[in-house]
């Protein structure tokens, strides 16, 4: 048996999501998001976020980020983000392509932008200078790609700084459920109540099948999104099959429970690994992602199997799903422990 820790998108779909797809498959429905499932999806989002919102179903996180940022774009602008942000490292320039903007990566502890660093950068940005790109958006990756979390207070401080300088605030929430589960706050507290203007809401990594959404809290930003989606090739013909998933996904607390389970698996894995000599965490384990540095002997042992995971430079990344096998977690810890155990030999007379 292979124990797969590569990502949370290697697993299957939640049973209730598959059931929702089967029900959505009955009969006919209007195309391009004008169907009953899409309308009910928006009602679900409004209920979850405790206010009227406008939302748009998409099939990828990169597309969701690009469209959300394009809605806030000017034609000569800049998007500020952490230097390790997903939009800056892993989206092949899609945000730049869709917005025409320059990404400005800022440093920060635990892979997070600090309000003080943002204030300094924007003060020096050359607002109004025609020789400089003009900032229009701040991206917050929540959780970060290294599994760390912004608290609502940190988001509010960043949003206040961004808004004071005329920027919109975009949140990349590919693992939004994991953040909500870990922080124990409401989706509203983590977004618009803390100053977020638009959210890329991810569900694919937590039980859905290619189901993401742009959730707009600032109505003005929603006006251009249908046009940008069409021009960018992001409009779904049979949108009901994504909308039906998200409608069901938000219908109960199952999405939070799955995320909480994934987080707990990662915490257990991290605790077991950190008891071993030579193992060190790269970042705090706050959601379902574990980044560690391991001795070469341990890496070689893991590579021999039966495990799968990703290596990012010297860092070893292990991501836990909600249905991660407990036996696999135990086996991985044991594999590293055995690889690091001192050799035993016979004593000679």
pLDDT grade, residue 75 (50/70/90)? Answer: confident
Note the pLDDT tens digit of each residue in 221-275. Answer: 999 999 999 999 999 999 999 999 999 999 999 999 999 999 999 999 999 999 9
pLDDT grade, residue 330 (50/70/90)? Answer: very high
Note the pLDDT tens digit of each residue in 147-181. Answer: 999 999 999 999 999 999 999 999 999 999 999 99
| Greatest CA separation for the chain | 86
pLDDT grade, residue 349 (50/70/90)? Answer: very low
Note the pLDDT tens digit of each residue in 250-262. Answer: 999 999 999 999 9
Asked whether the predicted pLDDT for residue 345 surpasses 90, the reply is no
Percent of the chain with pLDDT over 90: 97
> Average pLDDT of the chain?
96
Give yes or no for a contact between 55 and 213, defined as CB atoms under 8 angstroms apart: yes
Q: Which residue's structure tokens are 């660093």?
A: 117
SS3 151: coil
* Residue 343 confidence (pLDDT): 79
Among 6, 43, 30, smallest CA distance to 248 is for: 43
Q: State mean pLDDT over 81-95.
A: 97
Cis peptide bond prior to 45, omega within 30° of 0: no
Q: State mean pLDDT over 184-197.
A: 98
Among 213, 219, 226, 28, smallest CA distance to 36 is for: 28
Asked whether the predicted pLDDT for residue 348 surpasses 70, the reply is no
Strand 77-82 vs strand 102-106: parallel, antiparallel, or unpaired?
Answer: parallel
Element (H, E) at 78: strand 77-82
Note the pLDDT tens digit of each residue in 36-52. Answer: 999 999 999 999 999 99
Give the integer Cα–Cα distance in Å for 21 and 24. Answer: 5
Distance of alpha carbon 72 from its chain centroid, rounded? Answer: 20
* Residue 3 confidence (pLDDT): 98
* Residue 254 confidence (pLDDT): 98
Give yes or no for a contact between 307 and 2, defined as CB atoms under 8 angstroms apart: yes
């Amino acid at each position: 048996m292979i124990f797969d820790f590569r990502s949370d998108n290697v697993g299957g779909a939640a049973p209730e999501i598959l059931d929702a797809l089967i029900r959505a498959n009955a009969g006919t429905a209007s195309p391009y998001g004008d169907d009953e499932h899409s309308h009910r999806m928006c009602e679900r989002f409004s209920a979850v976020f405790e206010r009227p919102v406008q939302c748009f179903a998409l099939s990828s996180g990169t597309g969701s980020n690009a469209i959300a940022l394009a809605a806030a774009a000017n034609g000569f602008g800049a998007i500020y983000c952490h230097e390790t942000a997903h939009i800056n490292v892993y989206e092949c320039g899609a945000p730049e392509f869709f917005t025409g903007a320059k990404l400005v990566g800022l440093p920060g502890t635990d892979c997070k932008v600090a309000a003080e660093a943002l204030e300094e950068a924007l003060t020096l940005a050359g607002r109004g200078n025609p020789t400089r790109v003009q900032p229009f958006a701040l991206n917050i990756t929540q959780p970060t790609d290294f599994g760390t979390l912004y608290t609502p207070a940190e988001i509010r401080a960043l949003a206040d700084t961004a808004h004071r300088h005329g920027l919109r605030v975009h949140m990349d929430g590919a693992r939004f459920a994991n953040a909500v589960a870990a922080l124990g706050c409401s989706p509203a507290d983590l977004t618009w109540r803390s100053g977020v203007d638009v959210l890329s809401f991810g569900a694919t990594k937590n039980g859905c099948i290619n189901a993401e959404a742009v959730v707009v809290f600032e109505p003005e930003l929603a006006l251009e999104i249908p046009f940008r989606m069409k021009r960018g090739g992001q409009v779904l013909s049979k949108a009901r099959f994504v909308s039906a998933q998200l409608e069901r996904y938000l219908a109960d607390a199952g999405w939070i429970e799955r995320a909480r389970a994934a987080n707990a698996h990662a915490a257990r894995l991290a605790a077991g690994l950190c008891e071993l000599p030579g193992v060190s965490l790269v970042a705090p384990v706050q959601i379902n992602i574990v980044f560690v540095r391991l001795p070469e002997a341990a890496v070689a042992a893991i590579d021999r199997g039966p495990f799968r995971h990703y290596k990012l430079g010297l860092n070893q990344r292990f991501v836990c799903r909600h249905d991660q096998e407990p036996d696999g977690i135990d086996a991985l810890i044991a594999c590293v422990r055995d690889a690091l155990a001192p050799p035993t030999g016979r004593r000679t007379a």
